[in-house]
Chains A and B, each alone.
Chain A
Amino acid sequence: MTAPPPAAAWSPPDPAPAAATAAVPRLAVERLTAWYGDAAGIRDVSLAFEANRVSALIGPSGCGKSTLLRCLNRMHELVPDARVEGRVLLDGHDIYAPGVNPIAVRRTVGMVFQKPTPFPTMSIAENVAAGLKVGPPVSRSERDAVVERALRRAALWDEVKDRLHHSPLALSGGQQQRLCVARSIAPEPEVLLLDEPTASLDPLGAARIEELVHELKREFTVVIVTHNLQQAARVSDVTSFFYLGTLVETGPTAQLFTAPVQPQTEAYITGRFG
């Protein structure tokens, strides 16, 4: 973890993992429409997210990719006047079914936001352990172990192991974002949603996060929203292109980027609009 990685080059996605799961995708969206008052952010979207894959959502500003992401962990409904129609299935069960507790859903589907937001009144270790407070109780030694593991998985352990009880505000932007990743994975969610996680980071910090994503998919199902096409090409296995609230095309990343089917997809990827 000493020398910075070389300028990120596109590499082919991982081959099918050894432990391929059953046909039921981890997360699936069925005919989902999400409203902000009278305006629809996404319309009639159906999409599946395979387990242990990185799925990228791309598209120009306002295309609905972030809206879709927020529907996956029931954050969309926090906006006043927000509504959702359709189903989002986690292992086959609709998280929007009546009686489902959105708070519990969010413990199973974690999210990392664009701007790193460590909790300023907590130390680094307390930040990472923050998600554990709302789960089953753990002993202190277990908690320390979880914190260490999460920080290691977020590639931050070596940099902070001597200042676990210090404020996170002294960390750089990239480090803070990795801290947020560690915080999100510490409670062991099933799915990890990343909403433009590198948008406010410098290139070095961004590259580090991208490395992380490769690692994370071993244990989590990852959905990443990005406006950076090269990033999508670099990190994802499956890419879905959105435009004006509808899903235009989805497919294996290599294929979408080299031989897109829809003309809009090709126009976007070749930079004719964005």
Chain B
Amino acid sequence: MASPATRRIVGAAMTGATYGAAALAIVPLAAILVMLLTKGAGSLDWDFFTRSAVPVGEPGGGFAHAIVGTLLVVGVACAIGIPIGVGAGIFLAEFGGGRFGWVVRFVADTLNGTPSIVIGIFAWAWIVRPAGRFTALAGSVALACILAPLVARTTEEMVRLVPNSLREAALALGYPRWRTSLTVVARTARAGIVTGCLVAIARVAGETAPLLFTALGNQFFSTNLLQPIAALPLQIYVYALGPYEEWHRQAWAGALVLILLVLILGTIARVATRSRHERA
């Protein structure tokens, strides 16, 4: 056993090391945000939001096609994925005690851990290949496959949090189970379910890999679901790897827009959940 002085020094050193670890853990985040602001903010002009890509090498142009593309693809993905996710989540919370519930839960967790590029291959295999072309719809389906299991698990958690006494009170009034589940339980969990969806949407909006060979990307403005379409993360990727300074500049700006989108959605979710807890 080392002397008390040694032990004290070691203790202080290790304690300091944990301070250092925490600080070091935050440094990348700060560095990234600072970089995005300094390199990207300057390029966020009117052109950036209203113009689409111009031919290679030419200056100017913007990300309008990518921003609109992301909104469209993510929007359609939500229309597909969120009802499935919320429905599955309510199912798991209300009826999920048996074997089937266990299977669904295991599958949802497995899907949540699947690399998003594999999801992209799946969408390619089932939609792009038979159709013979890349489409925005295929990208939406890929994103929906990421959304649904994520939303299912968070919805299940939120619905489980509803105290059983509320269910009993509704049942004692003569509410059938479906009415209890919808108008009392799900309604009470509504805020939590919505924030879970917001967090999932933020995650999905930033996904690039599933879109690489489904939506493919498009240098032109398009809102056609049956054609390739640009998306914000895709555009950032292509421009970052390109040889032109102009492209790099716009990539930073696009990244700033993307991170702002993600942060805003995440903050709304966080604030909404916290205020609920404070009220309860």
Contacts and interface: CB of A to CB of B under 8 A. Distances in A.
CB–CB under 8 A between A and B in the complex?
Answer: yes
Contact of A121 (B163, B172, B173, B190): B190
Interface string B157-183: 000000101101111111110010001
Contact of B169 (A78, A107, A119): A119
B173 A184 contact: yes
A75 B163 CA distance: 17
Nearest to B184: A119
Contacts of B7: none
A134 interface: yes
Interface residues of A, number: 28
Interface residues of B, number: 20
B188 A110 contact: no
Contacts of B187: 119, 121
A180 B179 CA distance: 19
Interface string A105-123: 1111011010101011100
B99 interface: no
A131 B174 contact: yes
Contacts of A110: 172-173
A183 B165 CA distance: 15
Nearest to B179: A134
A80 B176 CA distance: 17
B277 interface: no
A24 interface: no
A73 B170 contact: no
Given A117-B165, A117-B166, A121-B190, A106 B171 contact: yes
A134 B173 contact: yes
Given A119-B188, A169-B279, A113 B165 contact: yes
Contacts of A108: 174
Interface string B179-216: 10001100110100000000000000000000000000
A111 B172 contact: yes
Interface in B88-115: 97
A103 interface: yes
Contacts of B172: 73, 75, 106, 110-111, 113, 184
Nearest to B97: A80
Interface in A110-144: 110-111, 113, 115, 117, 119-121, 130-131, 133-135
A174 interface: no
A145 interface: no
Contacts of B171: 75, 78, 106
A184 B169 CA distance: 9
B144 to A, nearest CB: 28
Nearest to A111: B172
Contacts of B175: 103, 133-134
B168 A113 contact: yes
A120 B173 contact: no
A194 to B, nearest CB: 11
B165 A115 contact: yes
A206 to B, nearest CB: 19
Interface of B: 97, 163, 165-166, 168-176, 179, 183-184, 187-188, 190, 279
16 contacts: A75-B172, A78-B171, A103-B175, A105-B174, A106-B174, A108-B174, A110-B173, A120-B188, A130-B170, A130-B173, A131-B174, A133-B183, A134-B173, A134-B174, A135-B174, A180-B169
